[in-house]
Chain A
Amino acid sequence: MTGLRGVLFVGLPVAVILGFWLLARWEYRHGRDSHRQSFVARNGWPVVAFVVAAVGFWALVMIVLPQLYMVDFSFHPKLPPSQRGGPRDVYTLENYRYFLFGSTRSTASWNVTHITAFWLTIAVSMCITVLNFVICYPLAYFMAQVGTGSQVRKLMLLLIIPYWVNELLRAFAFNILFGTSGVLNVILLCTGVIASPIDFIGQDIALYSGLTYAYLLVMMFPLYNALESLDHNQIEAARDLGAPWWHVHLHVVMPFAKPGIASGCTLVFMLCAGALAAPLVLGGPKTLWFTPIVYDRFYQAFNWNQGAAYAIVLLLTCILFVMMVMRVFRVSLSEITR
Chain B
Amino acid sequence: MSADVELDDVSVRFGPFLAVDRASLKIAGGEFFSILGPSGCGKTTLLRTISGFLQPSQGRVRIGGRDMAGLGANKRPTALIFQNLALFPLMTVADNVGYGLRVRGVARAERRRRVDALLQLVALPDQGGSLVSELSGGQKQRVAIARALAVEPQVLLLDEPLSALDLRLRQHMRSELRAIQKRVGITFIYITHDQGEALTMSDRIAVMNRGVIEQVGPGRAVYDDPATAFVASFVGENNCFEGTVVETGDGHAVVETGVGRLSGRRRNGLAVGDRALVFVRPEALRLVSDDAPAPIACELSSSAFEGNATHLFARARQGQPIVVTLSRRDEAGAMAPGQKLGLDYAAHDGLVLPANGHGAD
Residues of A within 8 A of B (CB): 231, 233-234, 236-244, 247, 251-252, 255-256
Contact call B74/A252, Cβ cutoff below 8 A: no
Residues of B within 8 A of A (CB): 51-53, 72-75, 78-80, 82, 84, 86-90, 99-100, 102-104, 147-148, 150-151
Chain A positions within 8 Å of B74 at CB level: 239-244
A-B pairs, 3 with minimum CB distance: A233-B86, A241-B100, A237-B86
- Residue on A nearest B53 in the bound complex, by CB: A236
Contact call A242/B86, Cβ cutoff below 8 A: no
Given the known interface contacts A241-B100, A243-B103, the answer about A236 and B73 at a Cβ–Cβ threshold of 8 Å is: yes
Given the known interface contacts A239-B73, A242-B104, the answer about A234 and B99 at a Cβ–Cβ threshold of 8 Å is: no
Contact call A237/B90, Cβ cutoff below 8 A: no
14 additional contacts, CB 8 Å, given A239-B73, A241-B100, A247-B103? A231-B84, A233-B82, A234-B87, A234-B88, A237-B82, A238-B88, A239-B53, A240-B73, A241-B99, A242-B74, A242-B75, A242-B104, A243-B103, A256-B90
Give Cα A255 to B90, complex, Å. Answer: 8
Chain A positions within 8 Å of B147 at CB level: 237, 241
Contact call B100/A242, Cβ cutoff below 8 A: yes
Chain A positions within 8 Å of B51 at CB level: 240
18 examples of A-B residue contacts, CB within 8 angstroms: A231-B84, A233-B82, A236-B86, A237-B86, A237-B147, A238-B103, A239-B74, A240-B51, A241-B74, A241-B103, A241-B148, A242-B100, A243-B99, A243-B103, A251-B102, A255-B90, A256-B89, A256-B90
Contact call A242/B151, Cβ cutoff below 8 A: yes
Contact call B79/A240, Cβ cutoff below 8 A: yes
Chain B positions within 8 Å of A240 at CB level: 51-53, 73-74, 78-80
Chain A positions within 8 Å of B99 at CB level: 238, 241, 243, 251
The smallest C-beta distance from A13 to any residue of chain B, in angstroms, reads 39
- Residue on B nearest A243 in the bound complex, by CB: B103
Chain A positions within 8 Å of B103 at CB level: 238, 241-244, 247
Chain A positions within 8 Å of B104 at CB level: 242
Contact call A231/B90, Cβ cutoff below 8 A: no
Chain B positions within 8 Å of A239 at CB level: 53, 72-74
The smallest C-beta distance from B185 to any residue of chain A, in angstroms, reads 20
Contact call A236/B82, Cβ cutoff below 8 A: yes
Contact call A231/B86, Cβ cutoff below 8 A: yes
Give Cα A233 to B88, complex, Å. Answer: 10
Chain B positions within 8 Å of A242 at CB level: 74-75, 100, 103-104, 151
